[in-house]
Amino acid sequence: MLLSLALVLLVSLAASRAMKDAETLQSEMFPPTHPNCTQSLTDYLLLRQELQLSKMAAAEEERTQLTRENLQVLTQVRDTLSQVSEALTQRNQASGRSAAETRRTCDPPFSSVGDSCLLLNLRLKEDWASARQFCVGKGADLARFSDAAGYAAILDYINKINSQDEMTDVWVGGTDEALEGTWLWVTGELMPQGPPFWGSSDGYKAAPDGGSSQNCAGLYKRDNYYLHDFRCNGAAAPLCQK
Ligand SMILES: [Ca+2]
């Protein structure tokens, strides 16, 4: 009987201790609810939402700043392109005006060649002085050129006029009549010397090579219209220029 009572007492004590341990464990794992628990959770959620909104606002501000910078760069590019385009337009306009200004308006039978007016009369074959007089009568003079471009333009004109390829030489306005060996244009300017202006006789002897017997300059058809010194009383066609 006593043993039974002791056993019941022990069982009761063990059960009581087990219940106490369970309560302790529960209080440690699940702290008691604070009186303001609901309010704290709301504050926390609001604070977290506020932080998220703040981050989103910062990111949006960063994107806005980036967009603003991109816009500035694009504006600068547009302004630069606009300036380049304007400069090109002005240069093209100036170039067009320059080309138009250097091209003379010529009355027939003269033709506009470069910055001058030319007239070649292949039907007229006379000495140098008469040819010059013919040109003066047209308000012009025998032709001159100062550089390869001018010479090339004259050759181009002559070849167009002489499309039939007549063996006719052409007088130009150069002479060394005043001082042998010193070739001057009728304007008093020095004629260009050597290639690509002057030709050669028989392919080896460079013109001018006629000495004091040949004092007038002409374009020699048989030498592809290179410059040669001719006898001034020879017959050639006048090339007039004004
Ligand atoms: Ca001479």
Look over the chain and give the mean of its residue pLDDT values, rounded to a whole number.
81
Average pLDDT, stretch 69-93? 67
Question: What's the confidence (pLDDT) of residue 178?
Answer: 96
Which position has the higher pLDDT, 184 or 27? 184
Q: What is the pTM of this model?
A: 0.59
Query: What is the distance in A from the centroid of ligand 1 to the CA of 148?
Result: 23
Confidence of residue 84 (pLDDT cuts 50, 70, 90): low
pLDDT tens-digit profile of 205-230?
899 999 999 999 999 999 999 999 99
Q: Are 176 and 182 in contact (CB under 8 A)?
A: yes
Q: Rounded to the nearest whole angstrom, what is the distance from the C-alpha of residue 193 to the centroid of ligand 1?
A: 14
CA 198 to ligand 1 centroid distance, Å: 14
Contact yes or no for 217/197 (Cβ under 8 A)? no
Strand partners, 142: 240
Report how far ligand 1's centroid is from the alpha carbon of 62 (Å): 87
Q: Tell me, what's the pLDDT at 62?
A: 83
The CA 121 to ligand 1 mean position distance, Å, reads: 25
pLDDT digit string, tens, across residues 86-137: 766 666 666 665 555 566 789 999 999 988 999 999 999 999 999 999 999 9
End-to-end CA separation in angstroms for the chain? 158
Least confident of 20-29, 137-146, 182-191, 204-213: 20-29
> Looking at per-residue confidence, does 75 or 8 come out higher?
75
Nearest to 218 by CA among 154, 156, 165, 149: 154
DSSP 38-69: HHHHHHHHHHHHHHHHHHHHHHHHHHHHHHHH
Residues having C-beta closer than 5 Å to ion ligand 1: 176, 215
Q: How far is the CA of 230 from the centre of ligand 1 (A)?
A: 8
> What spacing in Å lies between the alpha carbon of 124 and ligand 1's midpoint?
24
CATH (one of 3.40.50.720, 3.40.50.10420, 3.10.100.10, 3.40.50.1220) for 111-241? 3.10.100.10
Residue 5 has pLDDT above 50, yes or no: no
Q: What sections of the chain are H helices per DSSP?
A: 2-29, 37-102, 128-137, 148-161
- Ligand 1 midpoint to CA 97 (Å): 42
Q: Give the pLDDT confidence score for residue 1 in this predicted structure.
A: 46
Find the 114 Cα to ligand 1 centroid distance in Å: 30
Task: Name which residue leads in pLDDT, 55 or 30.
Answer: 55
Q: Ligand 1 centre from 208 Cα, in Å?
A: 7
| pLDDT value, residue 44 | 74
Q: Give the integer Cα–Cα distance in Å for 159 and 227.
A: 15
Of residues 56 and 208, the one with the higher pLDDT is 208
Centre of ligand 1 to C-alpha 181, Å, is 6
